[in-house]
Amino acid sequence: MESLWARAGWVGSVYGDWMHIRVAVIGAGSWGTTVAHLCAHNTETVLHSRREDVAAAINSDHENPRYLEGYKLHPGLTSSTDLASVVGAADLLVMGVPSKGFRDTLRDVAPYLRPWVPVVSLAKGLELGTGKRMTELAEEELPGHPVGVLTGPNLAKEILAGNAAAAVVAMTDPTIAVRLQDVFSSQLFRVYTNQDVIGSELGGALKNVIALAAGMADGLETGDNTRAAVITRGLAELTRLGVAMGGEAATFAGLAGLGDLIATCISPQSRNRYVGEQLGRGRPLDEIIEEMNQVAEGVKSAPIVCELGRIHGVSMPIAEEMRAVVEEGRSATDAYRGLVRRPATSEHAPD
């Protein structure tokens, strides 16, 4: 069956068909479920879950008891464990799986995805071993499909509770980005467009490492001054690397950069901040990860970010200390001592 996008030639006026677009969201974690919930307000949406019990609960009780217990989902949202049927009917594929399994999942969906269907990533991480962004993986595994990212300061439970929020949908094709605004937006969830896919995606991936440091500041009870300094210098750090990798500086001052960084560094709901906080309290990393049922991307990203910094000649002092904590077992106290010992230079000079 020909996709809506192939019929429209990507850029044609498709308003007549637009209200009937079918969205497939792959990954029934907290954020994938929330995005599916948002899409269901606007168009037909199916959420793929690997777990029969989760799919059944969404269909019968309009709730995801594994990740979002007590939060009601849009009654029009349906769920299925049948990957072939979910993907095969999609006019838009939204990838809500963590970075660790992103490439394998792309390979799983490839046989069923029709030509030209856009692929939007929700993941905020980098591939182990290659350091590649998720849209790069999508371009490799699903050639010929327009790819993009939905990102920003978005905490799933706050959105499901009805609180206002904003995000960015970044696509190199601005016409598709504008179309996707209508799919993801709601009265209280405002979606902006951005053509800087690289910067938007890197902002979401790099901030997780800084959130570990901010959480450590809380765990060590260093105070708000320290946390503010970590967030501010962390923004400078991720902006330097992001620009060196092809992103635009303005993107890192917006929702995908500063906005996401603040939310991840200060919210008690942030998994990365939580891991950092527990490390600051002296708990072993393995013990912290074991008790969590979701992924804290910053733990895996810290070594990758440092390697990217070396490749691009960018100093990453905060990321280097976080790498030492997660890879070498350095204590949170020693990590902060390492940062304090660094000589102060001009605020706008590379560290």
Tokens found for residue 218: 């809380």
Query: Catalytic: which of 132, 157, 207, 300?
Result: 207
Edge-first strand order for the sheet with 119-121 is 78-80, 44-48, 22-26, 92-95, 119-121, 147-151, 165-171, 189-194
Contact 193, 168 (CB under 8 A): yes
Active site includes 157?
no
Phi, psi of 164 (to 5 degrees): -70, 145
22, HSE (Cβ side, Cα atoms, 13 Å): 14
Find the Cα–Cα–Cα–Cα dihedral 109, 114, 116, 121, rounded to 10°: -20
Q: What is the 3-state secondary structure (H, E, C) of the chain?
A: CCCHHHHHCCCCCCHHHHCCCEEEEECCCHHHHHHHHHHHCCCEEEEECCCHHHHHHHHHHCCCCCCCCCCCCCCCCEEECCHHHHHHCCCEEEECCCHHHHHHHHHHHCCCCCCCCCEEECCCCCCCCCCCCHHHHHHHHCCCCCEEEEECCCCHHHHHCCCCEEEEEEECCHHHHHHHHHHHCECCEEEEEECCHHHHHHHHHHHHHHHHHHHHHHHCCCCHHHHHHHHHHHHHHHHHHHHHCCCCHHHHCCHHHHHHHHHHHHCCCCHHHHHHHHHHCCCCHHHHHHHCCCCCHHHHHHHHHHHHHHHCCCCCHHHHHHHHHHHHCCCHHHHHHHHHHCCCCCCCCCC
> Which positions are catalytic?
207
